[in-house]
Structures are given as structure tokens and as C-alpha cells.
Chains A and B, each alone.
Chain A
Amino acid sequence: MSDFGGMEDLLQDFLQEANDLLSDVDNKLVELEKMPDDRALLNDIFRGFHTVKGGAGFLNATELVTLCHLTENLFDRLRVGEIDLTAELMDVIMDATKGVREMFGELGQMVQPQPADPAVIAALQGVLSGNAVKLDQPAAAQSESLAPTPASGEPDWSVLHAAVTGAEVSAPVSSSEVITKAESAIVEAVVTPTAVVSQSAAPASPFGRRGTDRPGGSPTSARRAEERGRENTIRVDTSRLDQVLNLSGEIGLTKNRLTSLRADILAGKSDAETLHALDQAVSQLDLLVSDLQNSVMKTRMQPIGRLFQKYPRIARDLARQLGKDVELVLAGEETEVDKTMIEDLADPLIHLIRNAVDHGVEMPEERQAAGKPAKSLVRLEARQEGDHIVLIIADDGKGMSAERIRAKATEKGLISEEEANTLDERQSLNLIFLPGFSTKTQVSDVSGRGVGMDVVKTNIQKLNGSIEIRSEPGKGSVFIISLPLTLAILPVLLVLLGDQPFALPLSMVREILPIEQSRIQEVGGKETLVVRGEVLPVIPLARLLGWPPVRYPEYGVFMQTAERSFILAVDSFAGRDDAVIKSLEDFRPKGVAGVTTLSNGQIVLILDMKELLSDLGQHSDIGSGIRALDFA
């Protein structure tokens, strides 16, 4: 299945490095639009394509070489000022860059890339040959030849060398004399065969195979199939690895100390000195192990800038498409986030940015009429706040009106008029996260996944995170995503049913309150508790687990999930803990997210509230369940 037998490692390296390079190029292109004459930018972009081309050659990725070569030549002309950067040219360049990225996608699937879109190639060639070439014209006007076959296409170095320098290999370059006509004639003679060879080898096109040379599906269908493969490798700062190594060494030493103490103790030695040494060694081990855990966790942390890099380009493309003037401003790129989380954040963030550009920001005229600058700013920011990562997507657009959102949700039948009337501002804004709320079908545009706001919220919640909206009509909207630092450690609340502890993800817990039976009210046949004006259903944990009710639960945990808020009734609490989650691989009972071990060695189940509640949904009637329990 692979076109890269024996080169898979090389390909992975190449893709990782080249992807970074291309993201960098993308950002520089966005900057270039603002400063079209910046030579340093032009040079950097030129070098980016040049480097990718060089690497692609070794992978025999002919089509990628061709596309990069043309784009590189274009930038060569731009940087020497032979051609000017126009808006049309910028579009061609953007298309070419997109093509390169698509080819990376194909390479990621272990297949040689299909030829680039002929229109892009023709456009590039057109510009290079003086703007006049039309789509159907053969691409023979190219003066400079690409030499994909090195063996045949190279000049004879020794002849050339002799011609230019007089065959003194180690001669210093004092001979800075101008090349005489005779010399350059020799050079000409040596170099030109290149052109002849490569042109005769591929008469149809000097740029290699055409699409028809290749059996198999159409290029577009192959591209559609492109699926982002997960990166299985990670780049780690060597100083961090050294730290891990160091700590393992220290732990080894402490272990030796403990082994020798054990021998002493087993031999009956239990004087104060021995016990003190034992105490010291264990304390030290404790410290070292938590340091080691931290260090290992850090090896998984990556600056979120790697993800952010891709977005200015996406925002720019969409804004252009919509005729808007938008600048995406990045901040906090150096904030470090768990690698898996970075990957899972890619789609939700793209959606929120697109949403801001598409729905949040107004057209330039509208903005000016409202007394705002025509250009709008969308801010994407990351920062660490305590043990959380906070991501902010803010626009200075028209904002959202709670009233209009309520009306729309009612109109779509997502909520009833009655329900709509009880919602406050925050709850109303949150309606946009309901499945079926998003109107625009952006399926094809948003990375082909049909991501709606509901999916954004679900994805964030999968990462144990939460998302919040603030909006002010006329001023703009802010989406605030809050995420735990890592997924490996989950802060949990330990609750008790009888003597048995269970762990609940702390991120869902809003507060803990005592349940007084006298305050429980039946509303519509369901047991509810009114907390500061909010009517919440009371669900006993015992019932969710299918346990027989033993006594009336004394405490309630105010929990909030995507779908609902409710009071989970439990017997008691055993405190909070940072659980190291062990997943249950082969045996996974419904409603159990994993297990963790308490300091006393007791094994505790971590509950998956969503799954437990979905089970409840099947019985559909929470209240009847509660009534069925006989607490008297």
C-alpha cells in the first residue's frame, strides 16, 4: 500500500519538518500582504519552498517538486523585483501553498501526490513567462529547466572547474576576475545538456508526468479521502529529557538505600536511627517521584503556537472570500499544552475562528456606518491560569443578542416558549451549543467534518474542558475555553454510597449542598430542589448505578454537564483527589470512565456521568425513578 518502502521514517521526518515550514510560510504570506516589498519575508518564503523541494526530491515526490519549483521561481522573481506582487498573484500563491499542503496530506497517507491542479500550474507558469500564458497553452515557454534526473542532467564539474578556476582546487578565490566570453561559452556547453535531456525525456511537459499518467481515482477524490493522520512522534527539548534521566537516576539511588534499610529491618534492626533513615528515604522518594511525574508530563507539553500558526491564513482566506477585512491577532503562543490536547483542539478552534469571521464580524461598510474601523480584529489567545489553560477567541463584531437567539431556538423547536422565557442572558447565549441550532451548512467548508457549535462543545468537554460565551451587542463576542493542564491526571471529587467511594470529575461539580427532605418539591411529578431560584432535578447516584436504596441520601452534588444541570444525591463525601486514570481496556462497564487507586490502596471507579445519564434518558422519566425509591 505504501509508495515509500524503506523510506517511511524519512517521510515522517520530512512531513513533520516540512509542515512546520509551510505553516511558517503561510504566516509570512499573511504578513506579506501587508508589506509586499519586504525582502526578508520574500527571501524566507523563497527558502521555504526551496527547502521543501529539496526534501521532496529525495522522496521522489515529483509533483511536489514541480509545484514547489514553480512557486520558488516566482518568489525568486519577486525578491529581485522583476515582478510585482498583485492581489491576483497573491491568490495564485495562496492556491499553490494550498496545493503543497494537500500534497503533504497525500504523503501522510503514504501515497505519491497527484499532480497539482492544472489551473494553478498554468497560472504559475503564466506569471513566470510574462503573464500572457492562458490555461490551454502548452507550458513550453519555460526558459529555465528543472533537472529531476541528476545523473544525466549535471554538468561535468571538472571541465567546468578547470574552465573557471584553472584547476586549482585549493586556490583561494583571489581570481575574482570577470568570466571571459570563452569561459562562459564552455560553461554554456557543459550546462545546457541538462535542458535537452530533461525536455526530451518528457516531451509532453517539462514538468514531469501529467495526471493521466497515473492510474487510479481522480485527483480530487484522492484529496477528499485525505484524513489527518495523528503524529505518533513528539519533539522534546533535550534538557527536559535530561531532567527525566537525572530523576530516574536519583530514584535508583534512593531505591538502593531502601533496599539496604529493608535488609537491616528484616535482620531485626529497628533502632531510632534506622527508622529515621527509613523515614528520610521514603520522603525523598515521595519528592522524587512527584518531580518525575511532572517532568514526564512536561515532555508531552508543546507550545500551542504550533497549532495557532495555521489560523491567520485560514482567517485571511475566509475573510477575503466574504469580502471582509479581518486580522487574526495571536497571543500566548508559547503557552504549553498537552500534545494530544493540541490535536483535539484543532477542529474546535478552526470552527470558532471561522464562526467569528463569518458570523461575528460585520462587512466593512456596516462597520463604518456603526463608527467602527473597517478592519476588524479577531483575537486568539492562550494563557495558563493556575492548573488550567484558558483559550480565548474574541471578535470586535456585532455581538449576539440573547433575545434573537431565544427566538431562533424557539422557532427551530429546540425549546418551548415557556422555557425560553425562563432563560437568563448566559443561558440564552448557551443555546447556540444545542444540536441543530447552527443554521448555515458549512459542511464542505469546515474541513469537511460538518462541525457545528454543538460538536465544538462536545469536543471541548471530551477534554474535560468547558466553554463559555460573553457577548455585548455592537461590541463583539468572546468565547472562553477552559482546559485542564493534562489529561493524565484528573481532579476528582470522592463521594460515598454506604462505604463505597466513587470518583466524579471535579470539572462538572459546581457545588455541594446538604439535602433536607423538607425542601424537596415535586414539580411535574419529579423530585426537585430549588437552588437560588434554579429548579434542579434530584437524581440519586444509587439509582444511576442500579443499587437498591438503603437510606435517604444526605448530600447533593450540583453537577453541570452539556445537556443539563442536576443534583446528584449521595450518602457522604471522602474529599477530593488528583486521580491518575487507569483505563479499563478489555472490560469496560457502562458509566465507568476508568479506575484509580487511593493512597490506602483502595480501588475507586471514576464515573462517566454522561454515559450514566444517557442510560437514564432511555427510561426518560427521571422523576418516576425517584418516586419509585422508597425512602421512608
Chain B
Amino acid sequence: MAADPKMRFLVVDDFSTMRRIVRNLLKELGFTNVDEAEDGAIALQKLQAGGFEFVVTDWNMPNMDGLTLLQAIRATPNLKHLPVLMITAEAKKENIIAAAQSGASGYIVKPFTAGTLSEKLNKIFEKMGQA
């Protein structure tokens, strides 16, 4: 499935520099419709307001971390089909298992390039196309 450049992303990270990095990388890939949230709790509020089609979230955040956000999304009927790409600082086994179990659509390790991000996104788009 070809990705729609108008697709609306929500980038969730407590570090604004990181949100900017992700936003820039998405822009490089042609996705310019991006909103940001500072933690899981704010993200959930924004998501519930509607209109988002893709979530890219950091793992480690205050208030509500990325995993809890992911679980909350999967437990919310009108959000549970949203693709969620988890960002984390390292490929720890238990993290990956936890993410997968909670229903993450993909997993990306910092630092990454636009190329890596594109690869991850495309895999998720493919799956969505099949579904």
C-alpha cells in the first residue's frame, strides 16, 4: 500500500529535541502532517480527540510511558487499530518482548536515519494493506 503523504502522525516524546528530530525525519520521507505530545497522557488526550492515523512514541517518559500508552491505545475500541511505532534507546530483550506483547506495530532503536525509519514504516504499511 502506498503511503498517503497526508497521513496524520502523532510524535510522542518528552524531549523536544527528539520530537523535532523525528518530525524532520518524517518530513524527509514526505510526511508533513505531524503533531506532537510531551508524554503518554497528553498523547492519549490528543488521540481521543481524533484525526490521527499513526503514532510514533518514545518509551521512557514521565507521567505515562510509551508502553502504557500503547496498552491504553490497544484497550480503547476506537483507537486500537492505530499503528504504533515504538522508539527506544536500546534493543533490550525484555523491552522488545514487552512491546510485541502489548501489540506494538514496530520497534525502532535510537539513533536511526530516515532510511531506517522509512523501512520500518513501509513494513507497517504493508501489514496494514494486507489487513
Contact = CB atoms under 8 A, between A and B. Distances in A.
A, B from the same assembly: yes
Given A58-B21, A169-B103, A147 B91 contact: yes
A10 B80 CA distance: 34
A155 B96 contact: yes
Contacts of B111: 54, 57-58, 60, 150
A369 interface: no
A51 interface: yes
Interface of B: 14-18, 20-21, 24, 58, 60-62, 71, 74-75, 80-81, 83, 89-93, 96-97, 100-113, 116, 120, 123-124, 127-128, 131
28 contacts: A10-B21, A13-B20, A14-B17, A51-B15, A51-B60, A53-B89, A55-B17, A55-B18, A57-B110, A58-B111, A60-B111, A146-B90, A150-B113, A153-B91, A154-B91, A157-B106, A157-B107, A157-B120, A157-B123, A160-B97, A165-B101, A169-B124, A169-B131, A170-B80, A173-B101, A179-B97, A187-B96, A191-B93
Nearest to A146: B90
Given A147-B109, A170-B80, A172-B75, 19 more contacts: A17-B16, A44-B62, A47-B60, A51-B60, A53-B89, A57-B110, A58-B18, A58-B21, A58-B111, A144-B92, A150-B110, A150-B112, A154-B107, A154-B109, A164-B97, A169-B103, A172-B103, A173-B101, A191-B91
A239 interface: no
Contacts of B81: 170
Given A164-B97, A187-B96, A150 B106 contact: no
Contacts of A184: 97
Nearest to B105: A169
A266 interface: no
A158 interface: yes
A150 B116 contact: yes
Interface of A: 10, 13-14, 17-18, 21, 44, 47, 50-51, 53-55, 57-58, 60, 69, 144, 146-147, 150-151, 153-155, 157-158, 160-161, 163-165, 169-173, 175-176, 179, 184, 187-188, 191, 194
Nearest to A170: B81
Contacts of A54: 15, 18, 58, 89, 110-111
Give the 8 A-B residue pairs with the shortest CB-CB distance, closest first: A57-B111, A164-B100, A58-B111, A14-B17, A13-B17, A54-B110, A51-B15, A150-B109
B35 to A, nearest CB: 16
Nearest to A172: B74
Contacts of A160: 96-97, 100
Contacts of A150: 108-113, 116
B96 A171 contact: no
A104 to B, nearest CB: 13
A67 to B, nearest CB: 14
A187 B93 contact: yes
B88 to A, nearest CB: 9
Contacts of B75: 172-173
Contacts of A144: 92
Contacts of A13: 16-17, 20
A501 to B, nearest CB: 50
Contacts of A10: 17, 20-21, 24
Q: Is the interface of A mostly helix, strand, loop or mixed?
A: helix
Contacts of B97: 160, 164, 179, 184, 187
Nearest to A195: B91
A21 B92 CA distance: 24
A172 B17 contact: no
A28 B33 CA distance: 38
A194 B107 CA distance: 15
A175 B91 contact: no
A147 B106 contact: no
Contacts of A155: 91, 96, 107
A143 to B, nearest CB: 12
B103 A170 contact: yes
A563 to B, nearest CB: 47
Given A17-B16, A47-B62, A150-B112, A165 B100 contact: yes
B17 A173 contact: no
Taking each of B60, B83, B116, which has the highest tally of chain A beta carbons within 10 Å of its own beta carbon? Answer: B60
A10 B17 CA distance: 7
B76 to A, nearest CB: 10
A173 B109 contact: no
Contact of A188 (B21, B93, B113): B93
